[in-house]
Structure formats: C-alpha cells, structure tokens
C-alpha cells in the first residue's frame, strides 16, 4: 500500500508548496482578471437589457478562429506555461524526498501533480466564468439571449456597435449554428485539461533531458504559439495543419462535426491526447532513471 501512497505524497508536497510561492498566486490572480475582462461584456449587456447568458462560456474563451497571440485561449496557455515553468520542481527538500520515496515514486508523483494541477487550472477558469455571469445566468441548454445578440446584433444595435460599446472579443457563429453549450463545455473542459497536461509533461521531459529549465520552457512555449500559425495555414485550405498541435484540438468549433472540410475529429483528439500523455510519461520514467538529478537543475 505504501508503494501507491508515496507518489500521491510527492504530488501533495508540490501542491503544499503553492502556499509559499507568490508566483502561483499571481498566475491565478492574472487568470481571474483575464476571465473577468473577457466575460464581463456578457454580464454588462445582460444587466443593461435584462438578457440571460449560459455559464458554460469556456468554449467561447477557447475559440480557435482568432489568428492572434492576444486571444484568451493563448493567454490561458501562457498562464499554464508559467505554472509549470519550474519543472522538474526541485526544492531544498527534494534530495530527502528522493531518498525516502525512491526515484520511481518521485517521478510518478511529479506526473500526477502536473495532471492534477492542469485539472485545477481549467476548473478555476470555468468557475470564474460562472461567478462572473451569475447575476444573468440561465441553466437552460442554450447560449442565452445576451450571447446571441452580442454576436449577431439586437433590434436596436448592430453587432459592430455592440462590439464597440462592450469591448467584445470575436467568437465564431458556429457555436450558435451547430453546437450546444453543455456539450461544447464538456469537450472543451476535458480537451483543455488534456492539452495543459500534455504541455506540462512536455516541459518536464524537455527539462529533464536537457538539464536546462529554459529549454523546457521554450519547447512548450513554441508549441503554444504554433497554434496561430497553424490556424493561419488551415485558413488557406490546408486543414490537416491543425492535426499537429494539441493546442488546436481544444477548440470545439474547429472539429469536423462543425465543417466537413475540417480535419480534427473527437475520436482523433481523444486518442492523440491519450497517446501523447502515455508516451510522455514513459519518456519521463526512462529519462528520470538515467539522469543524475540535482537541486538547481
């Protein structure tokens, strides 16, 4: 039983370290400010005109049609990048943890920590969305009149006028034509969780392999900022380009169920996430057993 408990203790130690790390608090504060900034137009419009809005706005925030490094989706991935930027999480007590837990339990615990921290981060984004729109919330499986009118315009104002007044970010009309909020939210939640875990594990493996935190940071960062480039290539008619980025797969409106010309399907995304996570965990296991790990890596 102790064999199974030890990795969880390693993961738990990393979470307890958050209380001492100002960086983690700043990341969650910055993420909350971003969510409030992007979601507040739904609240303001709903309050002004007595309209309602769904709390399942995560798919809109993870929209993939914005060929821009300022899209909310990419900013959340940057937050995730900063959350795991100190991988492989070496602290002064790490040598003692390695002695007591053994190396296998240590790296397994680190992988568990990355997966659970990714779940916590995507849950935090979802929760802040819900809290912001709480005064105008509707639990029906619709996007709500506020979201619909902000996208297409109301009886008194055009969509462009509403965008200028409320400072909206762009999201695709595909959400209203082909997708329902609950199903889209569930896909985006789990794909966002998986993509955060993939990039976190990638950063961890790259740092272990090179013994340089900077290389792990740069490698995962390049994967994130590849998303706008691949979306641009796909917009030229090469939809297969989106198959090469786990960041692209987290945008539900870019799935083949929305447009027959699109390449990525739900089975493809789910299968690739599972395969990538397994390969990364195996690679971390092999690398951690062969690498001399020192504090200050």
Phi then psi for residue 182, to 5 deg, are: -70, -50
> 163-176 pLDDT, tens per residue?
888 877 777 778 88
From the number of C-beta atoms within 10 Å of its C-beta (0-12, 13-18, 19+), residue 260 rates as exposed
Res 293: pLDDT? 52
Query: 43 falls in which pLDDT band (50, 70, 90)?
Result: very high
Q: What is the pLDDT of residue 2?
A: 46
**SS3 label, residue 51:** coil
Average pLDDT over residues 241-256: 88
Task: Report whether pLDDT(156) > 80.
Answer: yes
Q: Per-residue pLDDT tens for 97-123?
A: 665 666 677 888 889 999 999 999 999
Q: What is the pLDDT averaged over residues 10-38?
A: 88
Nearest to 191 by CA among 76, 70, 27: 76
pTM, rounded to two decimals: 0.89
Place of tokens 């900022």: 225
> Running DSSP on this structure, what letter comes out for residue 292?
-
Q: Is the pLDDT of residue 279 over 50?
A: yes
Specify whether the CB–CB gap between 61 and 34 falls below 8 A: no
- DSSP classification of residue 64: S
53, β-bridge pairs: 137
Which tens digits make up the pLDDT trace of 215-234? 888 888 888 888 888 888 88
C-alpha–C-alpha distance, residues 255 and 247, integer Å: 13
Helix residue ranges per DSSP H, 133-212 = 145-152, 159-166, 174-178, 181-210
- The listed range with the strongest mean pLDDT (117-126, 204-213, 288-297) is 117-126
Mean pLDDT of 256-271: 87
Domain boundaries, the chain: 2-290
Average pLDDT, the chain: 84
Taking CA atoms, 101 is separated from 45, 110, 281, 290, in Å, by 54, 12, 18, 17
Structure confidence by residue, pLDDT tens digits, 131-154? 999 999 999 888 988 888 888 888
Q: Are 114 and 13 in contact (CB under 8 A)?
A: no
> In degrees to the nearest 10, what's the CA dihedral of 245, 141, 174, 129?
-50
Tokens of 141: 């499986």
C-alpha to C-alpha distance for 82 and 217, rounded to whole angstroms: 9
CB-based contact 83:217 (threshold 8 Å) = no
């Amino acid at each position: 039983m102790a064999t199974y408990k030890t990795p969880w203790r390693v993961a738990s130690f990393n979470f307890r370290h958050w209380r001492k790390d100002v960086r983690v608090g700043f990341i969650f504060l910055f993420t909350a400010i971003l969510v409030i900034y992007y979601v507040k137009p739904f609240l303001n419009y709903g309050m002004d005109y007595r309209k309602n809005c769904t709390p399942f706005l995560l798919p809109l925030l993870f929209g993939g049609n914005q060929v821009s490094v300022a899209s909310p989706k990419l900013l959340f991935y940057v937050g995730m990048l900063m959350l795991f930027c100190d991988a492989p999480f070496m602290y002064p007590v790490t040598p003692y943890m390695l002695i007591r837990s053994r190396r296998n339990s240590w790296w397994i615990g680190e992988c568990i920590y990355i997966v659970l921290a990714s779940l916590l981060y995507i849950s935090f984004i979802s929760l802040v969305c819900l809290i912001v729109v709480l005064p105008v919330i509707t639990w029906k499986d619709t996007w709500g009149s506020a979201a619909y009118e902000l996208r297409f315009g109301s009886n008194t104002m055009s969509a462009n006028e509403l965008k200028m007044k409320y400072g909206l970010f762009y999201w695709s009309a595909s959400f209203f034509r082909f997708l329902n909020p609950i199903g889209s939210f569930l896909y985006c939640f789990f794909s966002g969780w998986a993509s955060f875990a993939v990039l976190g594990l990638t950063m961890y493996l790259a740092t272990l392999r090179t013994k340089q935190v900077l290389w792990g940071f740069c490698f995962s960062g390049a994967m994130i900022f590849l998303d706008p480039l691949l979306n641009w290539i796909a917009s030229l008619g090469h939809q297969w380009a989106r198959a090469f980025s786990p960041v692209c797969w987290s945008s539900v409106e870019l799935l083949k169920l929305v447009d027959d010309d699109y390449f990525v399907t739900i089975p493809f995304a789910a299968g690739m996430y599972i395969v990538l996570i397994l390969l990364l965990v195996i690679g971390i296991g092999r690398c951690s057993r062969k690498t001399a790990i020192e504090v200050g890596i």
